[in-house]
């Protein structure tokens, strides 16, 4: 039984599955009608905030991901970026700002949104 589990693990790795690329609902490669939201969450001193929650809200839906150890996130969704709101949070911090960089390639181009968190309630 143990041998089968090890073989299954290597099959997953050989198949190209990468947990760092896991994202939201939709086409994770960003093809077709998906919009890729990406960016970084940093504190007010510029240090990366690992494990921060990033929410992309559209009407009554919210898509959620968390930042990696370098404070970066990536989320693939099927929503319109012009009608969405992005917020970031982590216990012990409060959001102090966001910076949105407009895509240059059209409505479904990747959208870069960085968040700044500040220590405090």
Which among 16, 90, 101, 106 is positioned nearest to 55, based on CA atoms? 90
User: Binning pLDDT at 50, 70 and 90, where does residue 108 land?
Assistant: low
Query: What is the average pLDDT across 76-100?
Result: 91
Q: What percent of the chain has pLDDT over 90?
A: 50
Which residues touch 113 (CB under 8 Å, ≥6 apart)?
A: 37, 38, 39, 86, 98, 99, 100, 101
Walk me through the domains of the chain, giving residue ranges and CATH numbers: 22-119 (2.60.40.10)
pLDDT of residue 32: 63
Residue 98 scores a pLDDT above 50: yes
**Structure pTM?**
0.69
């Amino acid at each position: 039984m143990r041998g089968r589990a090890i073989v299954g693990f290597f099959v997953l790795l050989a198949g190209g599955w990468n947990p760092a690329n896991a994202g939201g609902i939709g086409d994770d490669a960003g093809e077709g009608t998906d919009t890729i939201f990406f960016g970084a969450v940093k504190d007010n001193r510029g240090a990366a905030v690992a494990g921060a929650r990033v929410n992309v809200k559209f009407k009554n839906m919210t898509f959620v991901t968390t930042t990696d150890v370098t404070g970066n996130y990536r989320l693939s969704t099927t929503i319109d970026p012009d009608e969405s709101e992005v917020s970031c949070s982590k216990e012990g911090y409060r959001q102090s700002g966001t910076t949105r960089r407009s895509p240059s390639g059209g409505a479904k181009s990747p959208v870069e949104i960085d968040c700044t968190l500040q220590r405090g309630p």
